[in-house]
Copies of this chain bind each other. A is one copy, B any other.
Amino acid sequence: MAKITYIEAGRQALAEEMRRDPLVWAVGEDLGRGGVFGQYKGLTDEFGSDRISDAPISESCIMGAAVGAAMMGTRPVVEMRFSDFALCAVDELVNQAAKARYMFGGQTRVPLVVREPIGMWRSSAAQHSQSLEAWYAHIPGLVVAVPATPADNYALLKAAIRCDDPVVYMEHKGLWPLEGDAPEEGVVAEFGKARIAREGADLTIVSWSASVHTSMEAAATLAEAGIEAEVIDLRTLWPWDREAVFASVEKTGRLMVVHEAVSVAGFGAEIAATVAESLHKALKSPVKRVAAPRIPISYAPVLEDEARVTAAAVVAAAQAMIAN
């Protein structure tokens, strides 16, 4: 089967959507030179600098202008470079984009995609490494997508661009070079449908973004020890696939949520709490979160690793659950 990288899958999805719909355009700093990670390489040649638009260093205007441009019927794809910088544009995203349709009684839509690369990526330290997906899942009006694979970075980005809601689209910087099976051409993902990355009967591991790969690595190790973990890649956090998670936990009787973000008030809490509320009796052992301590992310690898959820930590937690 043909292979493709995560970054290239996103690039192709955007290019195809821009060919399909002349109202789709992308805007962000340095896009004319391909974007900071090369996600937009070559697109200016095909689409021109109006549709692959550079921007001043004006995050709040990039986001705010996208809101206005979306309300006027275009479909802007905003590049925030690092999700950390999107913190310079929170009013525009949360007070404006997310609420405009509602506040104006349904008179408008804000079909806007905000690309916010998340996660640890080399030694990038506290202002270039955050994963704040839980924030946006908490905000009515927003959709949150967190692709883990090249195929999903293609299918979910296409879905995000076609969606009439504002979508916070969080690619993981550590996954840019990841190779995986190429998606079926033209496929568009359905939001809120999880992917069973691996089947198993002993426990359910729910994850998303880069942590899916950590979970898969752990599942392989666990399998050697005779523990069959079912790994669920949520793909989107709002909406999130309650049905898939419930079905799996009813089967396994055990839920673990694994994510890179800080554990305290992370989205793992939402999933763990929901399962604990709804499937209490089906649980053979307590729900469990495996996520980061409440510390900023460091620069030196030895320190950065303290904030990193490893396959070993997932394995240890899983074995403790099974023993329990």
User: Which A residues are closer than 8 A to B by beta carbons?
Assistant: 84-85, 87-88, 90-91, 94-95, 98-99, 102-103, 125-127, 132, 134-135, 137-141, 238, 261-262, 264-270, 272-274, 276-278, 280, 283, 285-289, 294-296, 298
What residues on B are CB-neighbors of A270 within 8 Å?
264-265, 269, 273
Contact A99 B87 (CB under 8 A): no
A141 to B87 alpha-carbon distance, docked (Å):
16
Q: Can you list the 4 inter-chain pairs with the closest CB atoms, starting with the nearest?
A: A276-B276, A280-B286, A138-B265, A272-B273
A266 to B238 alpha-carbon distance, docked (Å):
14
What residues on B are CB-neighbors of A272 within 8 Å?
269, 272-273, 276-277
A-B contact pairs, 29 of them (CB 8 A): A84-B95, A85-B91, A87-B91, A87-B94, A90-B90, A98-B296, A99-B127, A102-B298, A103-B127, A132-B138, A134-B138, A135-B135, A135-B265, A137-B264, A140-B294, A140-B296, A141-B296, A268-B273, A269-B270, A269-B272, A272-B272, A272-B273, A272-B277, A273-B276, A273-B287, A276-B287, A277-B288, A280-B286, A280-B287
Contact A286 B295 (CB under 8 A): no
Closest B residue by C-beta to A101 = B296
A261 to B125 alpha-carbon distance, docked (Å):
31
Shortest CB-to-CB span from A321 to chain B, Å, is 10
What residues on B are CB-neighbors of A132 within 8 Å?
138
A129 to B14 alpha-carbon distance, docked (Å):
36
Contact A262 B95 (CB under 8 A): no
Contact B238 A264 (CB under 8 A): yes
Contact B289 A273 (CB under 8 A): yes
A238 to B102 alpha-carbon distance, docked (Å):
32
Given contacts A134-B134, A264-B270, 5 further A-B contacts (CB under 8 A): A87-B91, A87-B94, A88-B91, A276-B286, A280-B285
Shortest CB-to-CB span from A209 to chain B, Å, is 16
Contacting residue for A273 out of B140, B269, B294, CB 8 A: B269
Contact B126 A102 (CB under 8 A): yes
Shortest CB-to-CB span from A16 to chain B, Å, is 31
A75 to B84 alpha-carbon distance, docked (Å):
26
A286 to B141 alpha-carbon distance, docked (Å):
29
Shortest CB-to-CB span from A56 to chain B, Å, is 17
A312 to B293 alpha-carbon distance, docked (Å):
37
Closest B residue by C-beta to A279 = B286
Contact A277 B286 (CB under 8 A): yes
Contact B294 A262 (CB under 8 A): no
Contact B135 A138 (CB under 8 A): yes
Contact A103 B87 (CB under 8 A): no
What residues on B are CB-neighbors of A285 within 8 Å?
280
Contacting residue for A99 out of B90, B98, B126, B288, CB 8 A: B126
What residues on B are CB-neighbors of A99 within 8 Å?
126-127, 296
* Most chain B CB atoms below 10 A, which of A94, A267, A268, A273: A273
